Structure 1
Amino acid sequence: MRSEPAPETRRRAYRRGLGAETLAVAWLCLKGYRILGRRFRAGAGEIDIIARKGDVVAFVEVKARRDADEALAAIDARTRRRIAAAGRVWLARHPRYAAFTLRYDVILVAGHGLRRLVPRHMISAFLDGE
């Protein structure tokens, strides 16, 4: 049986995640993206960031871990399916973007201190339904 983490541990992880998302938003803006939404929830899925650049809408998952490999490993098949499902709901609610190129990106925020300041943006990290 899995035990639940202590409330303080959960709060720390939540704050770290919010900080990583804020850093990812700033990174995307510096790269010329316009943020269309943050923390979009639909059913069992959530999209951390929805961003647009030109005719591309990117559904972005942000993961913060000690190292990039650990962060990438945290995005398993179940997570990808949930993000893709939430992306379809978002698109149904925003049909004006139906003709845009849709992408599923990942931003990895690894390390601590100043090392966290350079996120790794993986463009088209996975496909819908993958």
Structure 2
Amino acid sequence: MQKTHKLIGSAGEEAAANWLCEHGYTIITQNWRAETGEIDIIAEKEDMLAFVEVKTLPHTATEDLDIIISAKKRERISKTAKHFLQNNRQYKQMFARFDVIVIQSNPLKEETLKVLHLKNAFEDYV
């Protein structure tokens, strides 16, 4: 069961990256790690940098951010984003935001993906 959960999560992250590309974003990196945590996708579009958390929740039809991602997780993402900007100064002057993409269908099945993109989903916690 755990292996299937990881497969669905990985497939969801790939689907989200593809979806972002189809909507004009350029993927800078995926699964960027620092001692504070991990960011699923870091992407840019025009002069904007998006730190994207991906949730694959095939049976969830909610836009309630507190159900999708905890405050503690948002804080970790925010701290990790700061580490990314400190280590990648070429992005320091760009407007940065925190997005959440929810894949509301099973990316392992051949079905139309339902993607919910919550732009600027939360503020910087640090």
TM-score, normalising length from structure 1? 0.86
Q: Are 1:63 and 1:107, in contact at CA under 8 Å, matched by a contact in 2?
A: yes
Q: Are 1:103 and 1:124, in contact at CA under 8 Å, matched by a contact in 2?
A: yes
Runs of 5+ in structure 1 lacking a partner?
1-8
Runs of 5+ in structure 2 lacking a partner?
none
SS in 2 for 1:69: coil
Q: CA RMSD in A?
A: 1.7
Determine which structure has more spread, i.e. the larger CA radius of gyration.
Answer: 1
Map of 1:67 onto structure 2:
60
Q: Are 1:34 and 1:52, in contact at CA under 8 Å, matched by a contact in 2?
A: yes
Equivalent of residue 121 in structure 1, options 97, 105, 117:
117
Equivalent of residue 88 in structure 1, options 56, 67, 82:
82
What percentage of aligned pairs have identical amino acids?
37
Map of 2:32 onto structure 1:
40
- Runs of 4+ residues over 3 Å off in structure 1: none
**Which of the pair has the greater relative contact order for Cα pairs under 8 Å at 6+ separation?**
2
Q: Between Structure 1 and Structure 2, which shows a larger proportion of helix residues?
A: 1
Displacement of 1:44 after TM fit? 3.3
Amino acid at match of 2:87: R
Instruction: Deviation per CA, 1:77-118: give whole Å up to 9, x if none.
Output: 000000001100001010111110000000001133425x13
SS in 2 for 1:22: helix
SS in 1 for 2:119: strand
Q: Are 2:98 and 2:120, in contact at CA under 8 Å, matched by a contact in 1?
A: yes
**In 2, Cα distance between the equivalents of 1:44 and 1:79?**
10
SS in 1 for 2:93: coil
